[in-house]
Amino acid sequence: MQPSRKIIHCDCDCFYASIEVRDNPHLLGKPIAVGGSPNHRGVVATCNYEAREFGIHSAMASATARKRCPDLIIIRPDMEKYREASAQIHEVFSRYTELIEPLSLDEAYLDVSDSKHFEGSATLIAEAIRAEVKENVNITISVGIAPNKFLAKIASDWNKPDGVFVVTPDQVDAFVTALPVKKLHGVGKVTASKMKRLGINTCSDLRKLDKTQLTNYFGSFGERLNNLSHGIDNRPVKTDRIRKSVSIENTYSSDLPNLERCLEELPYLEIQLAKRLKKLKGKYEIRKQFIKIKFHDFVQTTVEMVSNQTGTDNYSKLFCQGFSRGNKPVRLLGLGVRLLPLNEEKFIGKTSAVSEKISRSSARPTISREELTSQNKAAFSKKNIDNGKADQLKLALDS
Ligand code: TTP
Ligand code: MG
Ligand code: MG
């Protein structure tokens, strides 16, 4: 039998908001959110725990947030500052292990199974990390410690904010048995309500079904569900994270009324996507092009096609197809590519056959409107972004 691993999942508490409060101590104790303007259909990127008491959360419209809490202070994101803090935090992680899998600016898995620090005590390592983050970055970070990634991630959320939660190998069974299924990674709203209909509320309910039944109900996810319900997750901490897609999205402050207006926006989105693709390191081949449309009533659709390039004509076609599914005003447009990682040798062997050669970089989930304007003033000045036309540009680097 393989020796049990020691995985730490670290996640900063209300990350962007913590940085803002740190830098503006007069905000301490007040409800604050970081996000776009309520007047321009901005959304909340995050909010501090004081604001959460009003039911405010990430991705909520800023206008709704303000309604729930009239005293809410909304601060524009300063991505540069968050990236700097993120680099400092990741520097702290690297003092304890080389096996780090960054998930986002504020979050990472660490495998400390073979760490020599604190005689290999994951709990003491985690406490040291928390103390160093507090000391060097002046924000709090919560940690979960468990024998695998799935449990460590759940554990880091267990005692948030500023919390620690440990699931030792001999506690795994009891912990998982009582775990509500909605805590399982991959169980979203739809799956959770299907499970509810089937009378499955906890992992112990899931365990009553065998693999075949789980596959019948949940398709290819069935086998993983079976493993998770028994606390099994053998995924290694991957230091070399492979990106599977790059995309860009824009929420418009006024709805785009028709297809023609959507197509007019295409070049501006393409410019942003091209910039992101250029910046990536590593070797990838484009496998698919895709678009996303969110209509004014929040109904959303995505369309994709097999492709090894980023051709405008293809995106136009996809937009036409997507738009025809709703034929109503559009709130958000997005486009992107799905990627196939190439290893070095394969890449060198190909020249003209690979139409796009792009690379990988650290995760960067959002880009502020300010950043967008400074990066691409020429293109966007035409569209008068400062008049609130393109209120929020979200860059999604999905993996
Ligand atoms: P999270 O770690 O998901 O959230 P958080 O750190 O703000 O709060 P928690 O204490 O619950 O961990 O995300 C990290 C940052 O990523 C967050 O501070 C802002 C940004 N973010 C967005 O921009 N949009 C989103 O929808 C989410 C969830 C996060
Ligand atoms: Mg966080
Ligand atoms: Mg996080």
pLDDT confidence band for 347 (50 / 70 / 90) = very low
Identify whether the C-beta of residue 77 lies closer than 8 Å to the C-beta of residue 366. yes
Look at 1 and 124; give whichever has higher pLDDT.
124
User: Among residues of the chain, what percentage have pLDDT more than 90?
Assistant: 74
Q: What is the mean pLDDT of residues 93-117?
A: 94
Q: Which of 77-91, 236-250, 331-345 has the highest mean pLDDT?
A: 77-91
Cα–Cα distance, 46 to 21 (Å, whole number) = 13
Look at 348 and 13; give whichever has higher pLDDT.
13
User: The tokens of 208 are what?
Assistant: 């009553």
pLDDT at 301: 94
Q: What is the mean pLDDT of residues 11-38?
A: 97
* 74 pLDDT above the threshold of 60: yes
Judged by its nearest atom, the ligand closest to the C-alpha of residue 108 is 3
Atom of ligand 1 at shortest range from CA of 366: 23
Q: Round the average pLDDT of the chain to a whole number and report it.
A: 85
> Which CATH architecture fits 245-396?
2-Layer Sandwich (3.30)
pLDDT at 163: 97
pLDDT at 241: 62
pLDDT confidence band for 341 (50 / 70 / 90) = confident
Look at 163 and 364; give whichever has higher pLDDT.
163
* 155 pLDDT above the threshold of 60: yes
Atom of ligand 1 at shortest range from CA of 160: 10
- Which class would CATH give 173-229? mainly alpha
pLDDT at 343: 58
* 358 pLDDT above the threshold of 50: no
Which of left, alpha, beta for 181 (phi over 0: left; psi -120 to 50: alpha)? alpha
User: The tokens of 168 are what?
Assistant: 């030792």
Residue 205 in 3-state DSSP? Answer: helix
* 392 pLDDT above the threshold of 60: no
Q: What is the mean pLDDT of residues 51-78?
A: 97
pLDDT at 240: 66
Q: What is the mean pLDDT of residues 75-85?
A: 94
pLDDT at 50: 98
pLDDT at 96: 94
* 127 pLDDT above the threshold of 70: yes
Q: What residues are in contact with ligand 1 under a 6 Å CB criterion? A: 11-16, 45-46, 58-59, 104, 106-107, 160-161, 365-366
pLDDT at 43: 94
Query: What's the predicted TM-score (pTM) here?
Result: 0.69
Look up the CATH superfamily of 1-167. Answer: Reverse transcriptase/Diguanylate cyclase domain (3.30.70.270)
Q: Choose which residue among 9, 15, 34, 50 to substitute to test ligand 1 binding: the one with the highest number of ligand atoms within 8 A of its C-beta.
A: 15
* 263 pLDDT above the threshold of 80: yes
> Residue ranges per domain, the chain?
1-167, 173-229, 245-396
* 359 pLDDT above the threshold of 80: no
φ, ψ dihedrals at 374, nearest 5°: -70, -35
Residue whose CA lies nearest to ligand 1 atom number 10: 13
pLDDT at 398: 33
CA distances from 186 to 7, 179, 189, 389 (A): 20, 14, 10, 35
Q: Which residues are catalytic?
A: 107
